[in-house]
Amino acid sequence: NLQDKLDRAFKVLKGQGSITEINVAETMKEIRKALLDADVNYKTAKTFTDDVKLKALGENVLTSISPGQLLTKIMNDELTSLMGGTVTDLETSKNPTVILIAGLNGAGKTTFSGKLANYLREKKGKKPLLVAGDVYRPAAVDQLQVLGEQVQVPVYVNRESTDPIAIAKEGVDEAKRNGHNVVIIDTAGRLAIDEALMKEITAVKDATQPHEILFVVDAMTGQDAVNTAKTFNDRLDFTGVVLTKLDGDTRGGAALSIKSVVNKPIKFIGTGEKMEALDVFYPDRMASRILGMGDVVSLVERAQQQFDERQAAELQKKIRKNKFDFNDFKTQIQQIKKMGNMKDLMGMIPGVGKAIKDVEIDDNAFKPIEAIIDSMTPFERENPDAIDTKRRMRIAKGSGTDVNEVNKLMKQFADMRKVMKQMSNPGMAAKMMRNMP
C-alpha cells in the first residue's frame, strides 16, 4: 500500500538498503584489485566481481541493513559457493580405501601423507598403512619412516626396488594381509611437470585403482599452483586438492582459483610443519579469510561511506533547514521507479528473478502522487507549508484526484518531514537505527 511505498521512499532517501550501480561498480573494481593481490587469477576475479555486482543490485531494496554489510555478505556467500559451498568428505568406507598422493617436489606430499595417517588414526579410528613410493631419493623413504613412527602408523618400504608401480601394488597387498583399512601411497614429485612423471603417476593409478587421488599443492606458489593443478587434473582426474603452507598470513586466493579452474573440491589444508597442522577445508572459513586479506571489508565500507556521505550530506542540509520539499520528494519517487526497471532486468537473469519476486515496485501506485505534485506550482513545491485549502482544491482538480487524496498526501508528507527532522539529529538517528530490524 501507499504507506509501504512511502516507507520505502524514506529508506532510500536515507541511503539505507540501497546499493546503486555507481558505487557497486566502483567498489567491485577495488575488490577485483584486492583479489588479484591475493593470488586469485584474473578470470576468476572478474567472474566473481561481475556476479557479486548483479546480486548486489538485485538485492537493492530487499533489506535495510547497511549496504557495506550487505555487500560483504553477498561476497562471502559467493566466495563460499565458488569454493564448493560445503565440506567435501574424504572417501574412507572401502576396505582397504586406497589413497594416492600426487604433486610436485616440495609441495608437501610426504608431510601431508604423515598428517593424513595421523588424522585418520586419531580422529577417524582407522588403521592406516603408509607406502613409501618415492624411490628416487633414499632420504625420502627415511623421511616417511620418521613421520610414520611419530604418528604411530606403520610404513611399507622396499629398498631393493626402484619400481614405484610394483611398490605401490605391494603396499596394497601388505595392507590387505595385515588388516589395514586405509592405504596412503606417497609418491615422487619432480621440480616441474614432465612427461616421465605424468606417465609414472598414471601407471601407479592404473595399478592400484585408488578411491581417492589427492593433489597436493603449495598455496604460496600462487598462479603456478593453478597451472600445475590443471595439468595434473587433465592427466590424473584427481578427486581432491590439498593446499599446503597456508599457515601464518599466506593468502588463500589460490584456493579460489584452483577450485574454479579444475572444479575439484579442496579437501584439506596444511597449516604448518607439525603432524597436527592439518585442517579439513571449510569453504566458508576460507571465504572469510580471503575477504579479510587485503582488508577488503574495510575497503568496501570506505567506498560505500564516501558515496553515501556525499549523497546524504546534501539531503541532510535540506532536512535540517526543513527545506525538504516536493521537488525532492519527486526525485525520490523517480529513484524508486528506476529500481523497478532494474528489477525487470534482473528478473531475466536465472536464479535472480526468484530472489526478488517478492519486492513489489508498482509504478502505478505512484501515479496519483506524481499527478498531485505535477499540479503544484513551483512556488507550492518549494513551500509545502503554503498549500492551504484553496490551493489544495485547485491541485485536486488539476490532477484529476479529489481533495481527500491531496490532504492525505499533505499529511504523509508532513509526517515524513517530521521524522526526517528527528533523524537528522544524530542522537535520535542512532536511537532509531537501533530499533530497526
Cβ-based nearer residue to Mg ion, 141 or 376: 141
110 touches Mg ion by CB under 5 A: yes
Could you say which of 118, 244, 332, 401 contacts ligand GDP (CB under 6 A)?
244
User: Which residue is nearest to Mg ion, using beta carbons?
Assistant: 110
Strand order, beta sheet including 155-156: 155-156, 128-133, 182-187, 97-102, 212-218, 240-244, 266-270, 278-280
d(CA 361, CA 8): 10
111 touches ligand GDP by CB under 6 A: yes
Phi/psi of residue 98, nearest 5 degrees: -100, 125
Stretch that binds ligand GDP, among 81-89, 194-202, 241-249, 255-263 (CB under 6 A): 241-249
d(CA 261, CA 282): 18
Cβ-based nearer residue to Mg ion, 110 or 271: 110
Say whether 105 counts as a known binding-site residue. yes
Q: Do 213 and 90 form a contact (C-beta atoms < 8 A)? A: no
Could you say which of 272, 340, 347, 353 contacts ligand GDP (CB under 6 A)?
272
Residue for grid cell 587469477: 41
228 touches ligand GDP by CB under 6 A: no
Cβ-based nearer residue to ligand GDP, 106 or 384: 106
Q: Which of the choices Mg ion, ligand GDP, none does residue 270 contact, using the CB cut-off of 5 to 8 A by kind? A: ligand GDP
Say whether 247 counts as a known binding-site residue. yes
Say whether 110 counts as a known binding-site residue. yes
Say whether 70 counts as a known binding-site residue. no
Q: Which helix (H) or strand (E) holds 242?
A: strand 240-244
Cβ-based nearer residue to Mg ion, 57 or 117: 117
Query: Which amino acid is it at 292?
Result: G
Binding positions for ligand GDP, 49-108, rule CB under 6 A? 103, 105-108
Q: Do 243 and 217 form a contact (C-beta atoms < 8 A)? A: yes
- Residue 248 Cβ vs ligand GDP, minimum distance, rounded to whole Å: 8
Q: Which of the choices Mg ion, ligand GDP, none does residue 272 contact, using the CB cut-off of 5 to 8 A by kind? A: ligand GDP
- Residue 137 Cβ vs ligand GDP, minimum distance, rounded to whole Å: 9
d(CA 118, CA 152): 8
DSSP state string for 342-385: HHHHHHTSTTHHHHTTT----HHHHHHHHHHHHTS-HHHHH-GG
Cβ-based nearer residue to ligand GDP, 107 or 346: 107
Three-class secondary structure assignment of 58-110: HCCCCCCCCHHHHHHHHHHHHHHHHCCCCCCCCCCCCCCEEEEEECCCCCCHH
Stretch that binds ligand GDP, among 9-17, 109-117, 230-238, 379-387 (CB under 6 A): 109-117
- Give whole-number Cα distances, 407 to 178, 372, 393, 412, in Å: 90, 10, 9, 9
Cβ-based nearer residue to Mg ion, 66 or 105: 105
Cβ-based nearer residue to ligand GDP, 289 or 343: 289
116 touches ligand GDP by CB under 6 A: no
d(CA 78, CA 125): 35
Residues binding ligand GDP: number (CB under 6 A)? 17
- Residue 109 Cβ vs ligand GDP, minimum distance, rounded to whole Å: 3
Annotated binding site: 103-110, 186-190, 244-247
Binding residues (CB under 6 A) for ligand GDP: these are 103, 105-111, 189, 244-245, 247, 270-273, 277
Binding residues (CB under 5 A) for Mg ion: these are 109-110, 140
